[in-house]
Amino acid sequence: MTDKRHIFRDVSVLNRFNTGSDHRLVRGSLNINFKAERVRLMKSTLRPTLLQTIARSEAFQSNLENRFAAVKTTTDVNQNLENVVRILREEGTRFCSMQRKGRKSKLTEETLGLMKKRRENPPVTSSEKRQLNQEISKRVRHDLQCSNTLTIERAIEQNRGSKVFVQSLERSHLTKLTTASGEVISSKPAVLSEVEDFYGRLYASHASRPDPENEDPRATLTRHFTEDLSEVSIGEIEIALKKLKNGKAPGKDGFTTDLLKAGGKPVLRELQKLYNTVFFEGRTPEAWSRSVVVLFFKKGDKTKN
C-alpha cells in the first residue's frame, strides 16, 4: 500500500477474527500529513532555472521534436492534449532534473552560529547575555533585510510580477469567510463551498433572449463560417507566450510558463496543431474545463467576499 514506514502506526494482528483461510486481519493507524502532501502536489517540479535554460534548452527542444514527430495527430482533441501533456511531462522532468534541497535559511552561518552558542553555552553574567542577545538581534535584522532585497532582485531579473515576491515574503491564508447572510464560517469544506457558490453566481449568465419583434431591421449581421476564419499562427502563440510572466503557479497539468518558453519551436508547433483542431472542430478538451482558483485579497476585511 505504501513504501513509507512512518505512515502506518500501531499495527496489530486480530487473532480472534476468523477469515476462513490462513490470512490474518491486521489493524493499524494510518497517518497522512495532508498539508505536506498538498504542498508537494501543488509545487511544480517542471520549472527550469535560468542556467538550465541557457545550457540545455537546445537538447530539450531536440528531444521534444523527436518525440512529437513519432506521435500521430488525430481529430480527438482529448487524445492530442494527452499526448502533448505526457511528452512534455516526461521530457520536462529530465530537463529540470536536479538535486532539490530544502529551503535555504534567510540567516547567515554567523548568525546561526551565535544562536547555537547561546543555546549550548549560555553566558554566565547578565551583561554578557544582554550583549549576545543584542548582537543576535542586530544580525537577524540585517540578514532578513538582505534576504528580502535579494528575493526582489531575483524576481526582477526573472521577469516576475510584484505580487510574486510579495507572496514569497509574506503569504496570507484564508481561515474564515463571511457568507452573504452574514454568517462567519471557518471550516475548510464550508469555505470552499461558499467560494464555489460565489463564483457560480458571479459567472452565471442572466441575459434574456432578444425579442424578435424588437429587432432593428437596419442592423445587418454578417455571418462568418468556419471556412472563412484563418488558422492560429505560430507567431500569435509566440507573442502570447512571451507576454506571460515567469514564476507563475502551474495549472492542473503542472506546466509552468518557464517550461513552455524553454520548449521553443517544437512546443509552439504542437500548441498550434492543438488550437487549430479545437478551433475548427468546435470542441475543447475536458481538461480545459478544470482549473485552480487562486484568491487575491483586496484591502480591508479578508473574510468578506
CA angle 163, 166, 170 (to 5 degrees): 135
pTM of the model as a whole: 0.52
Burial class (CB in 10 A: 0-12, 13-18, 19+), 12: exposed
Query: How far is CA 82 from its chain centroid?
Result: 19
Q: How many CB atoms lie within 10 A of CB 91?
A: 23
Confidence class of residue 162 from pLDDT cuts 50, 70 and 90? low
Helix 257-281 to helix 50-69 angle, to the nearest 10 degrees?
A: 30
Task: Give me 284's grid cell.
Answer: 475543447
Task: Say which residue the cell 505536506 belongs to.
Answer: 36
For 270-287, what is each residue's pLDDT tens digit?
999 999 888 888 888 988
List pLDDT tens digits, range 214-258: 666 665 656 555 566 788 899 999 999 999 888 777 877 888 888
Statement: residue 98 has pLDDT above 60: no
pLDDT, tens digit (0-9, with 9 covering 90-100), for 111-132: 999 998 888 888 888 898 899 9
**What pLDDT was estimated at residue 181?**
83
